[in-house]
Structure 1
Amino acid sequence: MTYTKLYDKIGYTFKNEEYLNHAMTRTAYAREHEIPMSETMDSFAVLGDAVLDLVVIREIIADGEYDKGEITRKKIDSVNMTVVRKIAEELDLPSYMRWGKGEIRMQIWTSGRVSAECFEALVGAAYMDGGIDAAAKIIGTVRHTRA
């Protein structure tokens, strides 16, 4: 699979594309193709969720917010499942994912949580590839495009 269009959309090109392949591999697909579970998106989605929170909170503080409650509220408004799902859809991430046969049949990507996990996995993969700056670049590009 070629990721050229995705790279254009996210404003970042992976140095090690294996991280991106890893992030785009669903567990069901891995089971069907005898790919180790360590090469599925799950771990990157967990990492990406944490990195997404970190980057957004860092931006909120840099913008001058100091109140704990307001920081939390703004973070929740910025990275809730609805927002993250919409980002995944705008990037057309489902078309890059390697889905299991049952997932394709059920069109599981229409689930908010599943689509959100796709973006989180992308952010986690970017973090592994280029650190916090790479993840922040993607998040910033996507947020700027949406503004």
Structure 2
Amino acid sequence: MVEERIGYTFQDRSLLERALTRLAYTLEAGLPPEAHMDALATLGDAVINVVVVEVVVMGGAHDKGAISNRKMNLVNMTRLRGLAEDLDLEEYVRWGKGEAAQAVWTSGRVLAECMEALIGAVYLDGGMDAAAGVLRRLGLTESV
């Protein structure tokens, strides 16, 4: 179960379900437009950036360029995709039929977006401390 893997239990299970539901799946299943992950992925991207920048600044960085470089090294598609792969996140996501047939999670940014959606859902459910805790447990910010 994803919650065990990330060390966070959702109070609002619908947020977790939404974070793991692709747009293609919602269209095929006739679900309402707000039932897919896209908005959560956008939110999660912002939350991840805030958490990482806060950790970098609290770690003593004060130069804008150094902070930006450190953030870029920590938060990128490859890192987020790697976190998602470590969680086997693709096994929990509700994919559209075409996505599943093509195994879209094996290339590009798809799994990184799923990871962002998951963090967005954690943020809405438990706030910034919960999201930061998940990112720390997953190893994104532990080496900052």
TM-score by length of 1: 0.93
Distance in 2, Cα, partners of 1:11 & 1:104: 27
Match of 2:69 in 1: 73
Match of 1:40 in 2: 36
**CA RMSD, 1 decimal:** 1.5
Select which of 4, 13, 21 maps to 2:9: 13
1:13-55 Cα distance to aligned partner (Å, 9 max, x none): 1111110000000000000100112110000000000000000
Contact 2:15–2:121 at 8 Å: present in 1 too?
A: yes
Structure 1: which 4+ aligned runs deviate by more than 3 Å? 144-147
**Which sections of structure 2, spanning at least 5 residues, go unmatched?**
none
For the residue of structure 1 that corresponds to 2:109, the secondary structure is helix
AA matched with 1:70: A
Q: What does 1:53-132 align with in structure 2 at a 5 Å threshold?
A: 53-132=49-128
Distance in 1, Cα, partners of 2:140 & 2:76: 17
Distance in 2, Cα, partners of 1:64 & 1:9: 31
Cα gap change, 1:115 to 1:146, in 2 (>3 Å): farther
Distance in 1, Cα, partners of 2:58 & 2:141: 20
Distance in 2, Cα, partners of 1:97 & 1:145: 24
Which shows bigger deviation, 8-17 or 50-59?
A: 8-17
Distance in 1, Cα, partners of 2:114 & 2:43: 12
Contact 2:55–2:141 at 8 Å: present in 1 too?
A: no
Distance in 2, Cα, partners of 1:146 & 1:113: 23
Report the count of equivalent residues. Answer: 143
1:111 positional shift:
2.0
Distance in 2, Cα, partners of 1:144 & 1:86: 10
**Which sections of structure 1, spanning at least 5 residues, go unmatched?**
none
Distance in 2, Cα, partners of 1:137 & 1:146: 10
Cα gap change, 1:81 to 1:128, in 2 (>3 Å): same
Distance in 1, Cα, partners of 2:64 & 2:141: 27
Instruction: Report % sequence identity.
Output: 48
Select which of 42, 45, 51 maps to 1:49: 45
